[in-house]
Homo-oligomer: A and B are copies of this chain.
Amino acid sequence: MEIDSNPAACQPLLDYFGKLIPLKQEEKELVEAKFHPHTFAKKQFALQEGKVCDHFDFVVKGCLRLFKVDEKGDYHVFQFATENYWILDLTSFHKRIPSSLNIEALEDTLVLRITHRDLLDLYIHAPKFDRIFRVLLENHFMQQQERIGQLFSSTAEERYLSFLEQYPHLFNRIPNTQIASYLGITPEFLSKIRKNLQAKG
């Protein structure tokens, strides 16, 4: 693993915020004070079912998955997070209740992490972040709604194709088992889909 976890490495996050709304110097310093780097080796968990999710993570490098294990023991991926994405269990984070989800590194990963306490603090000292996190949440919400729409009215093949379109940087980076789990199908069926598609063009 070659990950630079130099504590001054908040730049990607400052860039990200700056694109949403320009930050003043003091706001930048607040970000540097409140967000801390954290690394995870491949297969390491960033959140384990049953624990309260006390952190809001911004991925600088690598890839994480947010997933649930159901009563039958099947895995379901809610979300992948690569560079410049956010990941957490929002429900556990806000309600301060044990999470029913897990977050696991699919690659060696570096995140910038803020705790619940520090985020509230950030909101108080710099209300601009109320707006930033509102916008960020709006974006997440839209993506989720799109996904519900697809689960309702598209076949697994259609969903696979639109996954390839929407996440071209991901499909050759993570195993097909994970993609299947994101699409809500079995790896066997994804394999069948891929074979069919190949037969076409």
CB atoms of A90 and B123 under 8 A apart: no
A198 sits at the interface (CB 8 A): no
Chain B residue contacts of A141, Cβ below 8 A = 90, 137, 140-141, 144
Q: How many copies of the shown chain assemble into the complex? A: 2
Interface residues of A in 125-140 (CB under 8 A from B): 127, 130-131, 133-134, 137-138, 140
12 other A-B residue contacts (CB within 8 Å) besides A90-B142, A127-B131: A68-B152, A70-B153, A76-B153, A90-B138, A91-B142, A91-B146, A130-B130, A133-B134, A137-B137, A137-B138, A141-B141, A144-B148
Query: What are 26 A-to-B residue pairs whose CB atoms are below 8 Å?
Result: A68-B149, A68-B152, A74-B153, A76-B149, A76-B152, A76-B153, A78-B145, A90-B138, A90-B141, A90-B142, A90-B145, A91-B146, A123-B131, A127-B131, A130-B134, A131-B134, A134-B134, A134-B137, A137-B138, A137-B141, A140-B141, A144-B148, A147-B148, A148-B148, A151-B151, A151-B184
